[in-house]
Amino acid sequence: MSATDKPKNPEKHCTYLPSEKKSSKPFHNTPNLDELEKGPWPSFVTGLKRLAMQDKFGNMMVDLLGQLEHSYKTRLGYWKGGTVSVFGYGGGIIPRFTELMGTDGKPMFPESKEFHTIRVQPPAGNHYSTKMLRQLSDSWDKHGSGLIAFHGQTGNIMFIGTTTQNVQTFFDEINEYGWDLGGAGPCVRTGMSCIGAARCEQSNCDEQKIHRLLVNNFMDDMHRPALPYKFKFKVSGCPNDCMNSIQRSDFAVIGTWRDDMKVDQAEVKKYVADKGRKYIVDNVVSRCPTKALSLNDDDTLAVDNRNCVRCMHCINVMTKALSPGDDKGVTILLGGKRTLKIGDTMGTVLVPFMKLESDDDYEALKELAETIIDFWAENALEHERTGETIERIGLVNFLEGIGIEPDPNMISSARQSSYVRMDDWDAEAEKWKARKAG
């Protein structure tokens, strides 16, 4: 592969490139990557080229671009894993070693032959201060490539690109001022919580407290992977579920309320006066999934709270007029996950409503999580998420295993049906047995 002094078309595409290249290694020719800089949108290639011009780890990024270009040409990936960790930890690092060797048996791109990612837990609710961000960036400039992703899919801050030796030095430095590694591998993973009551009026619970409680309680399970597979906690303060917890976590805690939603009729009237009755009917009333809303002749709003399923649509549209009720708590769902073996699963409602006010309430939440993880760890197959275990052994068995009584408010599919038949259960079971025997 031939080399050039400058990336192709820097004037056109690389608007953020510094004028002076401080790294000593010339850029590789990267025609495929250059294509990804075209157009008006930001380009990760431009970002990588900018880092490649810096002094300390610039050469590493130059070779990273070279390996990436090679991958684009051959349509193959060339990273393999391995074992890299810091003292006392079993996880938190994603090792990456190059597999791309030249005919002489040496790495084709030696400067980036080790390109590990370090996962660091974000603060609950992602509440950073600029001081924290500067500290982290400064440390990463010292020990790593400068490439950071806020945040990876699990929620970690991803410090991407460093050598085996620098993993420990970087960790020691950031740990000194309060940061800890996240989870990687078959373990309890880094938790996530929405920004919560600090910035959001729809919050129904103390998201950050729940997040910290759960994650701190399972810190050992995060740092020493010993579970059948990953287990994720996510906390959203309301059913808008900004953390996608229902879809992306094994144990989702979602804030909700069980009394009536609050309606400020004066604000409703103002809203109607401003937007018109047709707009309200078309955009709020008729979009309620359970037809629980109606607009009265005097421009007030009637809410059939018994049939409201807390989808949040009307509250999101009429934020001043409508808000969650006062009797707040959380719903707990279990078993959400992305694709793999049995396809995507959404969390299943395990606890329809739980108050979280007293220390005892929080203790009960912690115990529930412990019971679930213990049962799942003992009964799951290797590489089996909770949703898959439930699918395999059946929800009834899972509920029995964790000691939770079936409840008709447990919902198998959002806004649709209970999965537990409470009417004539025994008679139905007898009929089923007879059908099976016959």
In the complex with ligand SF4, which residue's Cβ is closer, 415 or 433? 415
What is the 8-class DSSP label of residue 148? E
Least CB distance from residue 329 to ligand SF4, whole Å? 16
260 residue type, one letter: D
Q: How many CB atoms are closer than 10 A to CB 421?
A: 12
Tell me the closest approach of the beta carbon of residue 412 to ligand SF4, in angstroms.
Answer: 18
CB of 278 to ligand SF4, least distance (A): 18
Query: How many residues in total does the chain contain?
Result: 438
Task: Considering the complex, state which of residue 397 and residue 413 has its C-beta at the smaller distance from ligand SF4.
Answer: 413
Longest dimension (CA), the chain: 84
Instruction: Report the residue number, 252 or 288, with the smaller CB distance to ligand SF4.
Output: 288
Nearest CA to 214 out of 239, 241, 245 is that of 245
Q: How far is the CB of 281 from ligand SF4 (least distance, A)?
A: 13
230 token code pair? 């990953």
| Phi, psi values for residue 302, rounded to 5° | -100, 135
Non-local (6+) Cβ contacts of 22 within 8 A are 53, 54, 55, 58
Q: Which is nearer to ligand SF4, 272 or 315 (CB)?
A: 315
Cα of 22 vs its chain's centroid, Å: 37
The pair of three-digit structure tokens given for residue 295, joined into one six-digit string: 């607009």
**Residue among 82 and 289 whose Cβ is closer to ligand SF4:** 289
Q: What is the secondary structure of 230-299 as a DSSP string?
A: -B-EEEESSTT-TT-HHHH-SEEEEEEESSPPEE-HHHHHHHHHHH-HHHHHHHTGGG-TT--EEE-TTS
How many C-beta atoms lie closer than 10 Å to residue 159's C-beta?
A: 27
CB-nearer residue toward ligand SF4: 118 or 411:
411
- Catalog residues that contact ligand SF4 under the rule CB under 6 A: 288-290, 292-293, 303, 308-315
Nearest distance in Å: CB 418, ligand SF4: 17
* CB 323, min distance to ligand SF4, A: 11
CB 274, min distance to ligand SF4, A: 19
Contact call for residues 379 and 393 (beta carbons, < 8 A): yes
Q: Looking at beta carbons only, is 314 or 380 nearer to ligand SF4?
A: 314
Nearer CB in complex with ligand SF4: 174/292: 292
**Shortest CB 290 distance to ligand SF4, Å:** 5
